[in-house]
Amino acid sequence: MFEVIIIGGSYSGLSAGMALGRALRNVLIIDAGQPCNQQTPHSHNFITQDGKTPKEISQLAKQQVEKYDTVKFYDGLVVNTIKTSGGFEITTNKKDTFLTEKIIFATGIKDIMPNIKGFASCWGISVIHCPYCHGYEVKNIKTGILANGNNAFHYAQLISNWTKDLTVFTNGKSTLTVEQTDKIKQHNIAIIEKEVIALEHINGKLKEIIFTDNSSFELKALYARPEFKHHTNIPEKLGCELTEHGLLKVDMFQKTTVKNILACGDNASLFRSVSVAVASGNMAGAFLNNQMTEKEF
Ligand SMILES: Cc1cc2nc3c(=O)[nH]c(=O)nc-3n(C[C@H](O)[C@H](O)[C@H](O)COP(=O)(O)OP(=O)(O)OC[C@H]3O[C@@H](n4cnc5c(N)ncnc54)[C@H](O)[C@@H]3O)c2cc1C
Domain ranges within the chain, ordered by starting residue: 2-111+227-296, 119-224
Residue 15 and residue 278 in contact, taking contact as beta carbons nearer than 8 Å? yes
Ligand 1 mean position, distance from CA 108 (Å): 5
Q: How confident is the model at residue 98, as a pLDDT?
A: 98
- The reply to whether ligand 1 has any atom less than 6 angstroms from the CB of 3 is no
Which segments of the chain have a pLDDT < 50?
none
**Residue 32: other Cβ atoms inside 10 A:** 19
Residue 95 CB-half CA count within 13 A: 0
Can you tell me the distance from the alpha carbon of 104 to that of 224, in angstroms, rounded to the nearest whole number? 30
Q: How confident is the model at residue 243, as a pLDDT?
A: 98
Collapsing DSSP to helix, strand or coil, 240 comes out as coil
CA angle 203, 204, 207 (to 5 degrees): 95
Q: How confident is the model at residue 180, as a pLDDT?
A: 98
What atom of ligand 1 comes closest to residue 123's alpha carbon?
Answer: 1
Ligand 1 mean position, distance from CA 36 (Å): 4
Q: Alpha carbon of 149 to those of 62, 157, 179, 193, 289: distances in Å?
A: 41, 13, 11, 12, 44
Class of domain 2-111+227-296: alpha beta
Q: Cβ neighbours of residue 177 under 8 Å, at least 6 residues apart?
A: none
Q: How confident is the model at residue 131, as a pLDDT?
A: 96
Ligand 1 mean position, distance from CA 265 (Å): 8
Q: How confident is the model at residue 255, as a pLDDT?
A: 98
Ligand 1 mean position, distance from CA 64 (Å): 18
Q: How confident is the model at residue 37, as a pLDDT?
A: 98
Q: How confident is the model at residue 138, as a pLDDT?
A: 96
Q: Per-residue pLDDT tens for 79-98?
A: 999 999 999 999 999 999 99
Has this prediction a pTM greater than 0.85?
yes
- Max Cα–Cα distance, the chain, nearest Å: 70
Q: Per-residue pLDDT tens for 100-139?
A: 999 999 999 999 999 999 999 999 999 999 999 999 999 9
Domains 2-111+227-296 and 119-224 alike in fold: yes
Class of domain 119-224: alpha beta
Q: How confident is the model at residue 142, as a pLDDT?
A: 97
Measuring from atom 29 of ligand 1, which residue has the nearest CA?
Answer: 35
Q: How confident is the model at residue 88, as a pLDDT?
A: 98
Q: How confident is the model at residue 290, as a pLDDT?
A: 97
